[in-house]
Structure 1
Amino acid sequence: MAQVCQYFFAPQSPWTYLGHERFVALAKKHGAQIELKPCDLGKVFSVSGGVPLAKRAPQRQAYRLVELKRWSEHLQMPMNLQPAFFPVAGDAAAMLIIAARLAHGTDAALALAGAVMRAVWAEERNIADAATLAAIARECGLDGQALVKTAETSGVQEEYNRHTEEAIAANVFGSPWYVVDGEGYWGQDRLDFVERALQK
């Protein structure tokens, strides 16, 4: 029986962008099933002691940029350290990804999630804009306009809220967050441990 890995994330997170393709690849390598759970990181922060980037101390903000540069160079991934559209609300993009999963399955939603993350961090695009989201979905071979409309429905909103409640219940406090066999792993730099867990 395939192992299950819960994947809690906010699509606007740079760390999620840096880890997304590697995570998807290692899950495929080990035949693991990914449960995709985009969630509201602002609500998660509010109950877990997290602080929005703009409110963090200057030295923390500066070191974050150093680490992003290190990781993007190490992984050879294109990254604008201070993109034109950031900070950006991730709710619309998260709900678009949920709508894609409901309509087209997990693989399509994972591909769309990766495209959304690249849009922020490598392509200088605004993922809070509905037309931009529709265009990204079309580029993934999906009906962008239909997905944007579906993403605005109460059913998708309820799913998004449920993911957020599940994240809080699972003691999530950052993005990305992976859960294997009930054990949580925070950050793309923990993917080695995630892989070890999937090998058990």
Structure 2
Amino acid sequence: MSGQVDYYVSLNSPWTHLGAARLMEVTSRHGATVRIHPIDVGSVFSASGGLPLPKRSPQRQAYRIQELARWRDALAIPIDLEPKHFPANETTAAHCVLAVREMIGDQPAVDLAHRVLKALWEEQADTGDRDTIGRLISDVGLDGSSILEDADDERWAVLRSQETRVAIDRGVFGVPTYAVGGDIFWGQDRLDFLDRRLGAGC
């Protein structure tokens, strides 16, 4: 069965990174396309009652680390639980992902987002740094200098704001969220349910 998955992400999210490869396996198996939306999670939290990590209770912060360690080990994905540059300023990277999506295509944009997440969570890279982003763009076979220049256009900030509002209106309250039609699946631990949804047809 084919279909489209709207993929709402933060380029700082370890959970998005942990689910990245499995998302691509699931969607490939069903012949589904993935359209990525690097939204402003701060605005999503403000609209939905969520809290940014530093404002969460100590108990919730401690449990998050335990869960990250469990998933890291279960999936054999070698993330650093407290990477040096987390949270990075994701604005430029998000604008680059949008520029790639709109000017080149959905899959290259997903590839870039996943490369950014891997760099942050596995390689101790500062993904808020322009030179780093340029290198990561080149890593996925694209022109880093050209895309960085394009990403400076104000239209990407406007588009990101619009897509964040659409996400909120659609019921998105956290990342990663995978949406198919009227169904949303929040969290990389819901990929089995996305798999079933795609198998049931769109």
TM-score, scaled relative to structure 2 = 0.96
Q: Check the 8 A contact 2:5/2:180 in 1, yes or no.
A: yes
Matches within 5 A, 1:162-173: 162-173=162-173
Aligned letter for 2:45? F
Quote the residue 2:40 is aligned against.
Answer: 40
CA distance in 2, matches of 1:87, 1:134: 19
| Alignment length (residue pairs) | 200
Deviating more after overlay: 48-57 vs 187-196 = 48-57
Indicate whether 1:188 and 2:178 are aligned.
Answer: no
Q: Which runs of 5+ in 1 are unaligned?
A: none
- What secondary structure sits across from 1:80 in the alignment? coil
Deviation, 1:109, is 1.0
> Matches of residues 5-24 of structure 1 in structure 2 within 5 Å?
5-24=5-24
State the Cα distance separating 1:100 from its structure 2 match: 1.2
CA distance in 1, matches of 2:191, 2:2: 18
Query: RMSD of aligned C-alpha atoms?
Result: 1.1
> Structure 1 vs Structure 2: percent identity of aligned residues?
41
Q: Residues 82-106 of structure 1: CA distance to partner in whole angstroms, max 9, x if unpaired?
A: 0000122222211111111122211
Distance 1:124 1:97 in 2: 20
Distance, in Å, in 2 between the alignment partners of 1:163 and 1:9 is: 11
Matches within 5 A, 1:80-91: 80-91=80-91
Is the 8 Å Cα contact of residues 34 and 107 (structure 2) preserved in structure 1? no
CA-CA distance at 1:181 after TM superposition: 2.3
List alignment gaps of at least 5 residues for structure 2: none
Runs of 4+ in 1 over 2 A off after TM superposition: none
Q: Secondary structure at the match of 1:35?
A: strand
Further displaced range: 50-59 or 155-164: 155-164
8 Å Cα contact 1:16/1:175 also seen in 2: yes
* CA offsets 1:17-65 (integer angstroms, 9 cap, x no match): 0001110121111011212111000110111111111111111101100
TM-score (norm 1): 0.97
Cα pair 1:5 1:179 within 8 Å, conserved: yes
Which residue is 2:69 aligned to? 69
